[in-house]
């Protein structure tokens, strides 16, 4: 479904992603793991088209020079030069890190905004109902301002907005960041439910313990470079991985 080939991303002279190759097959849940500043967010933003958008915006301002090298293929077609909205139309939807919600809007309004590119109102309603089934706590928070919700509740809203966009490939950038163990468990269960909807998932995380048992395959990157990949069994049987990402 997704093939990232020899991807390199430079911010001025700083190398953020270095000759990275990654693939995701339809129906998989694939994890990208790495320490802080390893390049995970740049990778996710690049696949979603946000890095390209930032490049053009900075060029217009005469500011930071961003260079993107390599190809990104989705369902066999080159999407390297597509805008973020065009990628969403193709089914690539990013849920960014740190619960990016519209704080002055209600939970329900946020969810509806997730479907802004969908023309059929019935599909939006169907998707919102599905979000409430996956995240039952949101049912009682429909009218609450998203900014008054807890971090965990905001993460539910953010993932819900991505679901309402009806993705084929959902990109989740550190969905567990800053959440309590209880909220982490709720989000992990939701990811398992999302897989049942025939949605392919690519997610990034710094701390692998809650996620690793549920993925099909994983990629570990450091300083923008792929240093290891394999199935969850291969990664969990590796002592270095267990030490670095499981604290064992």
Is a pLDDT exceeding 80 seen at residue 99? no
Token duo for residue 158: 């953010």
User: Which residues are within 8 A (CB) of 181 and not within 5 positions of it... i.e. 6 or more apart?
Assistant: none
User: Does pTM top 0.75 for this prediction?
Assistant: yes
Q: How confident is the model at residue 28 (pLDDT cuts 50, 70, 90)?
A: very high
User: What's residue 58's pLDDT?
Assistant: 84
Q: Buried b / exposed e across 221-238, counting CB within 10 Å, b at 16+?
A: bbebebeebeebeebbee
In tens, the pLDDT along 114-147 reads: 988 888 889 999 999 999 999 999 999 999 999 9
Q: For residue range 64-74, what is the model confidence (pLDDT) as tens digits?
A: 789 999 999 99
Q: Where are the domains of the chain?
A: 102-166
Cβ contacts of 61 within 8 Å, gap of 6 or more: none
Measured CA to CA, the distance from residue 9 to residue 129 in angstroms comes to 39
């Amino acid at each position: 479904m997704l093939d990232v080939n020899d991807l390199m991303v430079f911010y001025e002279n700083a190398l953020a992603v270095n000759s990275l190759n990654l693939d995701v097959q339809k129906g998989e849940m694939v994890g990208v793991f790495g320490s802080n500043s390893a390049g995970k967010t740049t990778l996710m933003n690049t696949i979603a088209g946000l890095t390209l958008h930032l490049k053009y915006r900075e060029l217009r301002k005469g500011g930071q020079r961003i260079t993107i090298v390599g190809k990104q293929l989705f369902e066999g077609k080159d999407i390297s030069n597509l805008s973020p909205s065009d990628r969403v139309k193709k089914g690539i939807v990013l849920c960014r890190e740190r619960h990016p919600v519209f704080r002055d809007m209600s939970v329900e309004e946020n969810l509806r905004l997730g479907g802004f590119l969908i023309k059929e109102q019935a599909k939006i309603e169907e998707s919102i109902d599905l979000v409430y089934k996956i995240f039952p706590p949101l049912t009682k928070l429909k009218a609450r301002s998203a900014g008054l919700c807890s971090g965990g509740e905001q993460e539910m809203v953010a993932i819900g907005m991505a679901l309402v966009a009806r993705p084929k490939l959902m990109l989740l950038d550190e969905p567990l960041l800053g959440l309590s163990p209880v909220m982490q468990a709720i989000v992990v269960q939701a990811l398992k439910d999302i897989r049942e909807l025939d949605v392919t998932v690519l997610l990034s995380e710094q701390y692998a313990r809650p996620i690793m048992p549920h993925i099909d395959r994983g990629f570990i990157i450091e300083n923008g470079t792929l240093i290891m990949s394999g199935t969850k069994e291969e990664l969990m049987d590796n002592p270095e991985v267990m030490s670095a990402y499981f604290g064992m």
